Structure 1
Amino acid sequence: MLLQEVFDEIDKRKDEMVKHRRHIHENAELSFEEEETAKYIADYYKDKDVEVTTNMGGNGLRVVIDTGKPGKTIALRADFDALPIKEETGLPFASKNDGVMHACGHDAHTAYLMLLADVLNNNKDKLKGKIVIIHQHAEETPPGGAKAMIEEGVLDGVDNVFGIHVMSSMPSGTVQYHKGNTQTGRSKFAIKFQGTGGHGSMPHLSNDSIVAASHFVTAVQTVVSRRLSPFENGVVTIGSFEGAGSFNIIKDSVTVVGDVRAMADETKEKIGKEIKRIANGIGETFGMEVEIDYTSDYPVLYNDPEMTQLVIDAITEAKIPEVTEISDCGPQPPSEDFAYYAKERPSCFYYVGAHSDKAPYPHHHPKFDINEDAMIVCAKSMAAVAIKYLGEE
């Protein structure tokens, strides 16, 4: 049986997968700066019977496995960028690049997909159709790598796209999914309130930007509590209030930076409209200029119900020994630029538990780590999906 043969090869090559993950982890690179990581991935495929396109949309790679037989085309995607975080894990393969760390699991995504791609390529004579491997750069930083790769044709000929995210918050051995709107859409903003600076003893001769910006910080929270329906989900976070100065100086200007999340693109647009209205209203109230830089980036990630059911059925039928549970995790708060693929093709993005043996530090934490056995679950579950989707020859 093909699936069991693939599973056996994945088991035999586990150490190879771990080696790839640790190399990428140790040589972490920031979004849009992943030149060496991209080269490492490209070198891996150099002598294999696949078609490789590099520098796609930046540092992205497209790898095509062609069975030579007619059929559908499936795309499997993994990201490979790191974060601007100083690593504190104490791991022997901790990042050598100071202030840059794989604190989200993208190293594991890339390692499992590299191995799986080779295993599927070794067995392509038993499959139909094509497999497109998407090694994507810059998931963490808008505008992200997915959008540019799509614009350069990464989805040409592709029927459906599948992806995985390892989750330190989910128990090892679990596979979790959700149908429909699954991860929030995201926007960010920077709003500058331009007043008139002056001496702290003479406020009547100035126009205090800190007072105006403080009113904004308070008022903007009413967007969620008073402008959204109780059945809509949205979050507005103020992440930075750049008002540092001296005790006796009235600030000339203050910039407030924030983040918006919503579980529907319509809600995200509504929040943006309200934020701008409040900012301009406060500017009018306090008689100062307001500069608004508002960027709507990643859309809501929508999991196609049919493709998600295919994932559920494939993993259930495969009876993967390492999988202890398959369940609906419900909508997830973070945003993810896999959403761009899902807007172009019916897709599914699901989750694999990677709870570390240590304290399960959250994603984007300096001590974040994963249980590396999760990569086996990633590889086998996605193998089951690909084989069920393509069909055996």
Structure 2
Amino acid sequence: MANSFSILLLVALLCVSAARTKPQSIGNVDGGICKSLVETQGYPCQEHKVTTEDGYILGLQRIPAGKSAGNETAAKLPVLLHHGILMDASAWLLNSPDKALAFILADNGFDVWLANSRGTVSSRGHKTLTPLYPAYWDWSWDQLAAYDLPALFAYVNNQTGQKLHYVGHSLGTLTALAAFSQEKLLNLLRSAALLTPIAYLGQMSSLFIRILMDLFLSEKLKLLGLHEVPNGETQELVEFICKTPGVDCSDLLATITGPNCCLSSASKAALFKNFPQSTATKNMIHLSQMVRMGTLEMYDYGNEDTNMEHYKQPTPPVYNMANIPKDVPLFLSYGGRDALSDVNDVGLLLDNLKDHDKDKLVVEYIEDYAHMDFIMSVNANQLVYDPLLAFFKLH
């Protein structure tokens, strides 16, 4: 009971803090991720901007070569990496170069591109809106699949003249799967590696997130005018709580994501320097609908008339995972201790892929891995990235 109360109190504090927070500065700080996290490790890095069809301006970092390789990129195959919710491209740079996927890919001869979702520090621009306006935050992961990913894929393809490999983590897998199920992006795709794949969330075991999702469904949040969550002061609150005697942030992370097996103290410190990043309240509500209903559908506006306006049908359209073409090369890696991408939910996804071409589907199960191990574990380079590299080289 005490543990449940403390979690509920923390979530309530996060929500109150976010509601009181002033919006972050608009747009990307020039060279932010490149200068602070890539060039400091001795790698070349470029900052790019990508504009989506609906007007969002996304930050995109490029690592065109490894530390010791030349800067020639013509023969290098591009790889686009996309992070999960409340994170940004720094998610791929939290460990030392021999253990962080972005650097490992660069050192293995790939042209590495790091995406940042709309609303994160690198991607707060828009052609006509600013984050001060509620309209800026009128999106869920539907729009990430419909606009962000197509814009990013097209930009990388235009810059390199090549089809690309894709790596997603958490929400970065959901948006890709949704797009693939509608047969989008496939003309520009070589293969996709999905780490902690999320399609279904109905059996998610994280009590922290279940309570959080229930709170985000509350109509009171709309009355508060809370469109962006979390925000600047929320990070300060998390840091403050982490310094409170008796509070172990590694345990807090385990409470949220599952008991990760192999995170270093340095990677956890790096994580909390860049976490949490902002997302739209509407996005959180959409995810909460998936948790509560166990469905994989577009955003539900809550009444048939509004759904009719948006979808021309009274209920949201379904993303059918069985519609993913059977010859799309897919690498799926998931963990037995993951409290977000639950093994039973992954099982539902795999059921939908049961007719996939056997030589185009690689499924890896790591029993003692939880959600963050796949991007932060000190041994992910051996357990996850070596098989991933072998998969890419086949395609």
Q: Which has the higher strand share?
A: 1
Structure scoring higher RCO (CA < 8 A, sep ≥ 6) equals 1
TM range (shorter): 0.3 to 0.5
Which of the pair has more CA radius of gyration? 1
